[in-house]
Amino acid sequence: MIERVVVLSDDAVESGGAAGIALRSVRLLAARGIPVTVLNGSQEAEALARVPGVTQHALGAQSLTGGARAAAAVRGVYSPDAARFVDRWIRENDTPGTVYHLHNWHKVLSPSVFRPLGRVADRLAMTAHDYFLVCPNGGQFDFQAGSACERVPMSGACLATQCDRRHYGHKLWRAARQAVRQRVIDLARTRATVVAVHDGMLPYLARGGIAPDRTVVVRNPVTPWRATRVRAEENRECLFVGRLEKDKGVDVVAAAAREAGVPLRIVGDGPLKDALLREHPEAQVMGWRSPEEIAGLVGRARLLIVPTRWRETFGLVTLEAVMSGLPVLVSRHALIAREVAELGCAETCDPYDRAGISAALARLAADDGAVRGMSLAGAQRARALAPTPEAWCDELLALYGRILATAGRPATGGARRDPRPPLADGRRGPGAGPLRGAAAVPAEAGHPHP
């Protein structure tokens, strides 16, 4: 019996990222009558303050992007305060029926939280919203080469490669943090359950050393922006929704749209906002908007552009769009890209090829029939790619039930599959189907951070 679920996260911010997914799970679980405790590294979430059955505890620490750089670097590798914060709650409140679910740890909490969580590892689920559990830069991506990385994380070839978005010194700091994570928790032998948000993550997590028999897939929930199909074929405006930073490709979107002569509306905020306003006055840069406002903007859009430059793990915005009947031009690096393209509701692009994106935008701007076909395909078929929030909550409860049912039992012996399968030509990984992994639970942020 589930007595309590403890949700751990770097922060408690309402967003489409890992923190937003964590908060959604809190609300859904509480609505089912499950007591929930939130432990987060920053501040309490105001949105949860009055939710019955939810208690919050906040460390009140800064993100690694704030404060003195040297102190942040030390804190990011190992935060004693975060370790004590989690350890205290476990010592004072843990019960055999308590399940722990860690969502993100690399922006505030640091690898130190794995030390106290190790004591309850057989009742711990860890969602891999990105690849930080195994990869130093979190993306399984070479940001300097602009291509997916096929190196074994933390191998000699990995450590010798400058793949970081910033500089090699930052890569070495990330590698040091990863080494601490490896020392604090051995993911090849852990009793914890690692939850991937997309099937395509499994071989990469395995290659990084996570035991395949401890990995399951539970896709994030998706709610379409609109309940009725966007009549995209009648519209002319292209739309970008997301953080305004280079990893998301908004710079190439703005340049390609201007070159193609198509109107562009940009919803979001971030470090590139000022440059976009200065260099692309023809684009409408709106800042963040509420879901209700986005729903209205989507009704006037012809297509959404998602040119992420890294190996995005889930693609929430893409799925929100196609389920609404809005066609998407999506980066080939996104794990969801092949699925939405095969459904006929999206086309893929190379986020490093501005001319190619421009040509695709110009072609789709002139082809009402193709756009209408993509719109209908998404509205009619895309729901199969991700669960509703209620169905997702059912999956989480099933997962927690399985975790508690096996907690305290001796680890099963026997041969273990090779945790580092090759991924280049003839890639191999766990089996097929909407859910994969030994736990087989019945069948969504990502973005690399500091």
Is the CB of residue 334 less than 8 Å from the CB of residue 306? yes
The CA distance from 138 to 174, in Å, is: 9
pTM for the predicted model, two decimal places: 0.87
Using CB atoms within 10 A of its CB, is residue 253 exposed (0-12), middle (13-18) or buried (19+)?
A: buried
Give per-residue pLDDT as tens, 19-63: 889 999 999 999 999 999 999 999 888 889 889 999 999 999 988
Measuring CA to CA, which residue among 320, 377, 368 is closest to residue 346? 377
Give per-residue pLDDT as tens, 95-151: 999 999 999 999 999 999 999 999 999 999 999 999 999 999 999 989 898 888 999
Q: List the domains of the chain with CATH numbers.
A: 4-221+388-406 (3.40.50.2000), 232-385 (3.40.50.2000)
For residue 145, give the DSSP letter. Answer: T
Is the CB of residue 381 less than 8 Å from the CB of residue 341? no
The CA distance from 444 to 29, in Å, is: 17
The CA distance from 340 to 286, in Å, is: 27
Which amino acid does the sequence have at 15? Answer: S
Give per-residue pLDDT as tens, 242-285: 989 888 999 999 999 999 999 999 999 999 999 999 999 999 99
The CA distance from 65 to 45, in Å, is: 20
Is the CB of residue 264 less than 8 Å from the CB of residue 256? no
> CB count, 10 Å around CB of 188?
15
